[in-house]
Amino acid sequence: MKTRLLMAVAVSLLGLHLLLGSRLYGSGEPAASGEDNGYDNIAVLTRAMQLIRQDYVDDKKTSYRALTYAALKGMFNALDPHSRFMEPRELKEMEDDTKSEFGGLGVTVTTKDGFLTIVSPMEDTPGFRAGLMPGDQIVKINGEATDQMELPKSIERLRGKVGEKVTLTILRPSNRQIKDYVIERAIIKVASVKGARFLEPKLAGEAQIGYVRITQFNEPTAGELSAKLDALEVKGMQGLILDLRDNPGGLLDSAVDVCGQFVGPNTMVVSTEGRVASARKVYKTSAEAKSRPHYPMAILINGGSASASEIVAGALRDLKRAILVGETSFGKGSVQSVVELQDGSGVRLTTAKYYTPSKQVIHEKGIAPGIRATMTPDQENLLTLQRRDPTDLEEADRKLLAGFRDTQLERAADALKGTILYASAGK
């Protein structure tokens, strides 16, 4: 329906241009101030396009496609940071992103408080290895200031040919330092489920507490997680810590399938509401969701946990399946519907907001933990450093990590130990 509507608008624009022709150029009464009449305003747009086509000094910039694309980009950029018009190449790049393999630096960015901000660098990517941190503000890209740069253009500047280098000027809010990072673009292959293991006795005591970290939600995530859980359960896992810290999100279907690993079939985990009836949806776990033991769970979240990770955390909290430990999440809880247009371009339009099962809104509010455990900026830096390949670390980094304590993980382990001990005493 959305595609037909957009096609109808395009036909209306062309029809007005052909029917009104030069009459628009020479005369025409403007709509009264404050009116929002569709036909009058489309006529204004059509007249402006004709003016450019007829009189603009450089005719190489006045093709119908170039002007139409520019107008559409302006329209979508004026809505919110997450809505955008995508040319055919951009639409394909977005589709490639969801398949866990694409070219770039490996950083997820958004506009926050007027700054181009890194939500989270993806692990084992050039941006992550270079030392970029969640919350870093990208001040310049190859010397070009980003303060007036629209988000789609920023993303385009970050991308490029594999093997090419890009210079990012980074402002780190925690210490107000500005530093240049020269990073080489690469093919990004993202392993979304990492670090599956049992916690060491100094954290877990005598309990068998499993730990799994999800770096983002893409097509293979639920399957990868299921395999890791199977292996831990076979070895006698009594409780689980699911780490969603600095997880920037990903696919909604993947988030729902991950919830399906821990709650029953046909369980509602998230809903959406928007202006139109079609935007109001309820998302449930699969009817074939795998049944697992009901062991205690804790989920780690922080300010870098966004979108799909907030959906999982909010759902499992509301359904009394897990306790949340850490800090309030990012607060990106809006729905973007993607529609491909007839020429291969596409639009991503914010059409609804996500709500947890208890009807709490996620967008711009985030998910609050039940057990608050904060980290200093230095501790957050060390947490990110801990996730890097040890072979990439310098001796000074290794010394810093030797004394590092993941206090959020410790709080989660303590909470589960108490729950497991209580359950064992009742048997």
Q: And the tokens for 334?
A: 């809006």
Q: DSSP letter string over 186-204?
A: EEEE---EEEEEEPPHHHH
User: Could you tell me the sign of the dihedral formed by the alpha carbons of 263, 268, 1, 273, in that order?
Assistant: negative
Return the bridge partners of 183, or none.
Answer: 166
First to last CA, the chain: 57
Choose the catalytic residue: 140, 228, 284, 332.
332
Q: DSSP letter string over 26-72?
A: H--PPPPTT---HHHHHHHHHHHHHHHHHH-S-GGG--HHHHHHHHH
Q: And the tokens for 154?
A: 């920023």
Q: Give CA angle at 129 (125, 381), nearest 5°.
A: 120
Backbone angles phi, psi at 54, to 5 degrees: -85, -40
Q: And the tokens for 159?
A: 């991308």
Determine whether 393 is exposed, middle or buried from the number of CB atoms within 10 Å of its CB (0-12, 13-18, 19+): middle
Question: What per-residue string of b and e applies to 213-251 under the rule 16 or more CB within 10 Å gives b?
Answer: bbbbbbbebbebbbebbeebeeeebbbbbbbbbbbbbbb
Is 228 a catalytic site residue?
no
Distance CA 267, CA 287 (A): 9
Return the bridge partners of 239, or none.
Answer: 209
Choose the catalytic residue: 318, 329, 345, 406.
318
Quote the distance between the C-alpha of residue 339 and its chain's center. 18
Choose the catalytic residue: 83, 307, 329, 345.
307
Q: And the tokens for 422?
A: 């209580």
One-letter amino acid of 122: M
Determine whether 126 is exposed, middle or buried from the number of CB atoms within 10 Å of its CB (0-12, 13-18, 19+): buried
Is 307 a catalytic site residue?
yes
Is 257 a catalytic site residue?
no
Q: And the tokens for 197?
A: 């293991």
Q: Is the CB of residue 332 less than 8 Å from the CB of residue 310?
A: yes
Determine whether 210 is exposed, middle or buried from the number of CB atoms within 10 Å of its CB (0-12, 13-18, 19+): buried
Catalogue the active-site residues: 307, 318, 332
